C-alpha cells in the first residue's frame, strides 16, 4: 500500500497519562504513552530506572555500563485552541493526555484530553493579547495587554500597554496572600486598599492624597481643599484646632460661638470687632488680651 503524500506527517501518537506534576513555569511534561506501552508494572511516574548494559568495544574488548531509562516521554505543550494562552495547564500526575508526533522524529507534543480538574491543585494561568499595530514589534510585557491568575502566588493581575496610542498604561492587582488591592497608571496616580492594615489610600500625580490609615484620616493637597454642602457638622470629643499661617476668614449671615468652659481670645497684633448693630459681651469674668 502506497502512502498518501497529501496526508500531514503531524499525527496523533497515543493517549497518555501525566507521569509528573508539571512545574508552574514549564511547558514540557513527562507523559506515559499507554497505547504504545500498554502493560507496565507499578505506579506511573517519571522516575529514572538504572539498567546494566554489556557490550564490546571496536577492539573486541568487553565492557559493562549503566544506562538510565524511563518509560515516559518528554513532550512539549501544544497550544491547539489556546491562541492567547501563554502558560501551559498545570496538570498533575494521573491526568489523561493526548500525545502528538511529527513523522518519526523523537519530538512529541501534548495537550489535555478530558476534564481532570478534580486532580488540579494550585495553578498559574496567563493570557496575553498583542497591543501593537506595528509589524515586527515583539509580543512582550510592554507590547501587550495581559491577565494573570495565580493561585500559586495568590495574585490576580491585569496590565495594559500604550504602544497603540493609549493615553497611559494601567495595572490592577489583587494580592490575596497579603490582603491588598492596587490600581495604578504610569503617570503616578494610585488607589490602594490594604485589608490587613485597615488602610485606604489614594494619590494623584500632583501629590494630592487621601489616606485613611486605621483610625486616622489624612487629607493633603499642595494648593486648596474645597468643601461644599447644605450643612457641614464637625464634632470632636477632644477638641478642634484650626491654624492658618496667613489668615483665617469666617463669613456668614449669623454666627454663634458657645463654650461650656472658659473662652480665651488672644491676638498678637491688633484686634477689632465691627458690627452693624451692637456687640454684647456678658460674663462674670471676661478676659480679652
What distance in Å separates the CA atoms of residue 113 and residue 17, rounded to the nearest whole number?
10
Q: What is the mean pLDDT of residues 163-173?
A: 97
Rg of the chain taking only CA atoms, in angstroms: 37
Q: 219 with 210: CB under 8 angstroms?
A: yes
- Regarding the domain delimited by 10-51+65-121, which CATH topology (the fold level of the hierarchy) does it fall under? OB fold (Dihydrolipoamide Acetyltransferase, E2P) (2.40.50)
User: Any residues with CB less than 8 A from the CB of 33 and at least 6 apart, and which?
Assistant: 13, 14, 15, 16, 72, 73, 99
Can you read off the three cell numbers belonging to residue 171? 495595572
pLDDT tens digits for range 176-232? 999 999 999 999 999 999 999 999 999 999 999 999 999 999 999 999 999 999 998
Highest averaged pLDDT of the listed ranges 5-9, 13-17, 44-48 = 13-17
Distances (CA, A) of 210 to 167, 175, 220, 229: 24, 21, 7, 19
* Res. 55 pLDDT band, cuts 50 70 90: low
What cell was used for 167?
493615553
What pLDDT, on the 0 to 100 scale, is given for residue 68? Answer: 44
DSSP 137-196: ---SGGGEEEEEEETTTTEEEEE---TTS-S--EEEEEETTTTEEEEEETTS-EEEEETT
Query: d(Cα 159, Cα 166) in Å, to the nearest integer?
Result: 13
Q: How far is CA 251 from the centre of its chain?
A: 50
**How much of the chain, in percent, has pLDDT values that exceed 70?**
84
Task: Convert the pLDDT of each residue in 239-252 to its tens digit.
Answer: 888 888 888 888 88
181 class by beta-carbon count within 10 Å (0-12 exposed, 13-18 middle, 19+ buried): middle
| Sequence ranges of the domains in the chain | 10-51+65-121, 125-220
Confidence at 118, pLDDT banded by 50, 70, 90: very high
pTM of the full structure: 0.76
Q: Which residues pair with 69 in a beta bridge?
A: 49
- Taking only the tens place, the pLDDT of each residue in 67-110 is 444 578 999 999 988 889 999 999 999 999 999 999 889 999 99
Amino acid at each position: 500500500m502506497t502512502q498518501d503524500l497529501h496526508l500531514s506527517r503531524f499525527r496523533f501518537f497515543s493517549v497518555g497519562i501525566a507521569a509528573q506534576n508539571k512545574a508552574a513555569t514549564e511547558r514540557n511534561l513527562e507523559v506515559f504513552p499507554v497505547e504504545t506501552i500498554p502493560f507496565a508494572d507499578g505506579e506511573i511516574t517519571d522516575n529514572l530506572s538504572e539498567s546494566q548494559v554489556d557490550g564490546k568495544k571496536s577492539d573486541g574488548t568487553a565492557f559493562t555500563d549503566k544506562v538510565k531509562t524511563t518509560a515516559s516521554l518528554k513532550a512539549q505543550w501544544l497550544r491547539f485552541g489556546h491562541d492567547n494562552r501563554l502558560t501551559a495547564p498545570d496538570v498533575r500526575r494521573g491526568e489523561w493526555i493526548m500525545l502528538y508526533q511529527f513523522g518519526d522524529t523523537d519530538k512529541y507534543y501534548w495537550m489535555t484530553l478530558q476534564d481532570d480538574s478534580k486532580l488540579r491543585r494550585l495553578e498559574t494561568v496567563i493570557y496575553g493579547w498583542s497591543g501593537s499595530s506595528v509589524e515586527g514589534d515583539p509580543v512582550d510585557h510592554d507590547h501587550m495587554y495581559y491577565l494573570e491568575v495565580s493561585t500559586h502566588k495568590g495574585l490576580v493581575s491585569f496590565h495594559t500597554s500604550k504602544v497603540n496610542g493609549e493615553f497611559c498604561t494601567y495595572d490592577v492587582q489583587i494580592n490575596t496572600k497579603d490582603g491588598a488591592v492596587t490600581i495604578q497608571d504610569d503617570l503616578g496616580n494610585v488607589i490602594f486598599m490594604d485589608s490587613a492594615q485597615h488602610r485606604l489610600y489614594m494619590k494623584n500625580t500632583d501629590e494630592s492624597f487621601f489616606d485613611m490609615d486605621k483610625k486616622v484620616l489624612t487629607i493633603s493637597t499642595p494648593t486648596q481643599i474645597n468643601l461644599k454642602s447644605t450643612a457641614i457638622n464637625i464634632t470632636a470629643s477632644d477638641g478642634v484646632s484650626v491654624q492658618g499661617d496667613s489668615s483665617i476668614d469666617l463669613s456668614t449671615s449669623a454666627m454663634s460661638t458657645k463654650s461650656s468652659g472658659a473662652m480665651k481670645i488672644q491676638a498678637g497684633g491688633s484686634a477689632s470687632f465691627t458690627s452693624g448693630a451692637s456687640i454684647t459681651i456678658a460674663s462674670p469674668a471676661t478676659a480679652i488680651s
